[in-house]
Amino acid sequence: MDWELVRTSLGPIVRGAVLGTIPLTLASFALGLALALAVALMRLSHIRVVSGLARAYISVIRGTPLLVQLFVIFYGLPSVGLTISPWPSAIIAFSMNVGGYGAEIIRAAILSVPKGQWEAAHMVGMPRALALRRIILPQAARVSVPPLSNTFISLVKDTSLASLILVTELFREAQQIAAVSQEFMVLYVEAAAVYWVVCLFLSTAQSLLERRLDRYVAH
Amino acid sequence: MSPTEPGVGAPLLAVHGLRKSFGDNEVLRGIDLEVRRGQVVALVGPSGSGKTTVLRSLNSLEIPDGGGITVGDDLVVDFDRPVGKRQLNLLRDRSAMVFQHYNLFPHMTVLQNVIEGPVHVRKQPKADAVAEAERLLQRVGLADKRDAYPFQLSGGQQQRVGIVRALAMRPQVLLFDEPTSALDPELVGDVLAVIKELSDEGWTMVIVTHELAFAREVADEVVFMDQGLVVERGAPEVVLGSPQHDRTRQFVRRLQQRF
Ligand SMILES: Nc1ncnc2c1ncn2[C@@H]1O[C@H](COP(=O)(O)OP(=O)(O)OP(=O)(O)O)[C@@H](O)[C@H]1O
Ligand SMILES: [Mg+2]
């Protein structure tokens, strides 16, 4: 084992995580969640066209590989005259992906709130939108935290695909050092270890968040 | 906490010819009902007779197919014509409902549950709403629970919060849908005592209940429904004591056997 190589490469790889993987994940997830909520509400709309559009979107996102989506945006769009640089391409692809998967999670969570909650909200005079915002979504949020956390953790790992469209992140740093040193095993295991540490940290944060959100539920 | 408007005994709520179907299922087939100010009307009848649907219609949670509802002398909603959202909202504002399964907001404390409508819908200043909520909670013996979450309360306490939440809406009519049927027997008394107090204070109420003894004690009039129609109505001791119709008799006998 070449410990010296591990020592010198750890800096760039961790920098790739801090400056690439993590901000890419955070930005994509934040935008993706907003999109997911919008798509979920569209999907629940009584207007056929609106819910149909949402359904089609979800179907396309879930029915095609993320890598292919990424390539369409970065390598495909330039040929129709739309060139997007690596970072924005990655953020667009990842947030659209979270938007599709997250929409189904949020929709299910909204539907899991008992009908009586809508009725009580109406009884105290709330129209639909207000009832959704003040009564339904806070309860749906609690239900959707575990599955959305899983989406988040998957996203951390999926961002490694961005290395293929030239985004400098954790895995691309490892690849570049490996190409020079030819120590593929050392560097890829090291990259895996850094991903693992990040995900371990996130899982802990997830359980803390779930415990906090559980405070108004009987055990 | 009592409604102090004048005119006790004047007609406050009138329902005429109310009809409602769910698909092929004709649930209300022309219901007539009249409730005077300060009066307590108990709605009784077998399961599926349409009692809940009547209450829900009064609170705009269900939109009838035909007939009409009048509240006070200025609101007439005619369901034989297309009814707008505005009308339904006006109707909803006149009454407040206490649900069988409480339906408290689980992510809010007791106090937040009570002030939610006044503050976020009626735009009452928060300090006022809190003061009123505290006074009402005190009245039902739950002042010390203001910061508790619903799951920390017994069913009886939750239902009393449900009642306070309804009162805080300052309705003209209180609607109760089997307010004690989800409760353990030993908790029923507390809730019924609160309802009895409200009736003594002059609140106008429509109560769907299977507690015939309670109906006898608190109701000014009992209305017996079956299969979407009002079969019999009158003083509690008449309708429940010596019913005129076979179906009422059967119903009363069956309920009495159960206890
Ligand atoms: N949303 C709905 N969709 C379809 N059918 C419904 C709906 N709500 C009520 N019904 C039907 O309407 C009929 C009357 O129901 P309702 O709840 O008013 O009866 P109820 O007198 O309150 O009965 P219970 O004593 O069991 O509460 C029942 O046959 C019920 O199945
Ligand atoms: Mg019912």
d(CA B164, CA A122): 16
pLDDT at B259 > cutoff 70: no
Could B60 and A122 be called an inter-chain contact, meaning their C-beta atoms sit closer than 8 Å? yes
Residue B36: the pLDDT is 96
Q: Which amino acid is at B78?
A: D
Per-residue pLDDT at B87 exceeds 80: yes
Per-residue pLDDT at A129 exceeds 90: yes
Task: For residue B44, list its beta bridge partners.
Answer: B224
Pairing of strands B173-177, B95-98: parallel
Does A201 fall in a domain?
yes
With CB atoms and an 8 Å threshold, state whether B151 touches A138.
no
Nearest CA to ligand 1 atom 30: B48
Where exactly are the structural domains of chain B?
A: 11-258
Sheet holding B221-226, edge to edge: B95-98, B173-177, B204-208, B40-44, B221-226, B229-234
The tokens describing B89, both together, are 């909202």
Query: Is A187 in contact with A177 (CB distance < 8 Å)?
Result: yes
Which amino acid, one-letter code, is at B91? L
For residue B1, pLDDT over 50 is answered with no
- pLDDT > 90 fraction of chain A, expressed in percent and rounded: 90
Please give the mean pLDDT across all residues of chain B. 93
Judged by a CB distance cut-off of 8 A, whether residue B173 touches chain A is no
SS3 category, B36: strand
| Domain limits for position A87 | 3-214
Query: Measuring from atom 27 of ligand 1, which residue has the nearest CA?
Result: B47
**What was the pLDDT predicted at A211?**
85
Mean pLDDT of A67-83: 96
Closest CA to A90 of A147, A169, A194: A169
Above 80 in pLDDT, residue A158?
yes
> Would residue A219 count as lying in a domain?
no
**pLDDT the model gives residue A216:** 66
Distance in angstroms (rounded) separating the CA atoms of residues B105 and B99: 12
Binned at pLDDT 50, 70 and 90, residue A213 comes out as: confident
Q: Measuring from atom 13 of ligand 1, which residue has the nearest CA?
A: B48
Burial class (CB in 10 A: 0-12, 13-18, 19+), A106: buried
Query: B50 C-alpha to center of ligand 2: Å?
Result: 7
Residue A62 belongs to some domain of the structure: yes
pTM score: 0.90
Question: What CATH code would you report for B11-258?
Answer: 3.40.50.300
> Between residues B255 and B46, which one has the greater pLDDT?
B46
Which spans in chain B are helix H? 51-58, 85-94, 110-120, 126-139, 155-167, 185-200, 212-218, 236, 246-258
**pLDDT tens digits, one per residue of A179-191:** 999 999 999 999 9
- The two beta strands, B221-226 and B204-208, are unpaired
Q: Is B51 in the pocket of ligand 1 (CB under 6 A)?
A: yes
Q: Quick one: three-class SS letters along A113-131? A: CCHHHHHHHHHCCCCHHHH
d(CA B145, CA B108): 12
Within 10 angstroms of residue B46's Cβ, the number of other Cβ atoms is: 16
Burial class (CB in 10 A: 0-12, 13-18, 19+), B68: middle
Would you say A99 and A32 are in contact if contact means Cβ atoms under 8 Å apart?
yes
CB within 8 A of A119, min separation 6: which ones? Answer: B61, B97, B99, B103
**Confidence class for position A212, pLDDT limits 50, 70, 90:** confident
Q: DSSP secondary-structure letter at A78?
A: G
Nearest to B43 by CA among B241, B199, B214: B214
Candidates A18, A24, A167; CA nearest to A10 is A18
Q: Which residues of A touch B121 (CB under 8 A)?
A: 124-126, 130
Residue A122 placed within a domain: yes
Q: Is the pLDDT of residue A219 over 60?
A: no
Q: Do A124 and B150 touch (CB under 8 A)?
A: no
A115: nearest CA partner in chain B: B103
Cα(B53) to centroid(ligand 1), Å: 6
Cβ–ligand 1 distance for B50 under 6 Å, the answer yes
| Residue A96 belongs to some domain of the structure | yes
Confirm whether A165 is domain-assigned.
yes
Per-residue pLDDT for A151 more than 60?
yes
Alpha-carbon gap, residue B23 to A156, rounded angstroms: 50
The pLDDT tens digits for B156-200 are 999 999 999 999 999 999 999 999 999 998 889 999 999 999 999
Q: Is residue A148 part of a domain?
A: yes
Ligand 1 pocket, residue B100 CB under 6 Å:
no
Confidence of residue A218 (pLDDT cuts 50, 70, 90): low
Q: Which ligand is nearest to the CA of B29?
A: 1
Q: Which of A44, A79, A124, A87 is nearest to B97 (CA)?
A: A124
The candidate with the shortest Cα–Cα distance to B225, out of B11, B13, B20, B39, is: B20
Dist CA A112 CA B103 (whole Å): 14
B4 lines ligand 1 (CB under 6 A): no
Which atom number of ligand 1 is nearest to the Cα of residue B178?
27
Taking the alpha carbons at both ends of chain B, their separation in whole angstroms is 35
Cα–Cα distances (Å) from A28 to A86, A152, B250, in that order, read 13, 10, 66
**Residues 6 or more apart whose Cβ sits within 8 Å of residue B109:** B146, B147, B148, B149
CB B128 within 8 A of CB B119: no
Give whole-number Cα distances, B122 to A91, A151, B172, in Å. Answer: 42, 39, 15
Average pLDDT on A2-19 reads: 91
Residue A41 within any structural domain of the chain: yes
What's the total number of domains in chain A?
A: 1
Task: Note the helical H segments in chain A.
Answer: 3-16, 22-43, 48-63, 66-71, 86-112, 115-123, 128-131, 137-158, 170-181, 184-213
Percent of chain A with pLDDT over 70: 97
| Whether B92 contacts chain A with CB within 8 A | yes
Task: Name which residue leads in pLDDT, B212 or B3.
Answer: B212
Q: What is the DSSP code (8-state) at residue B239?
A: I
CATH code at A14?
Answer: 1.10.3720.10
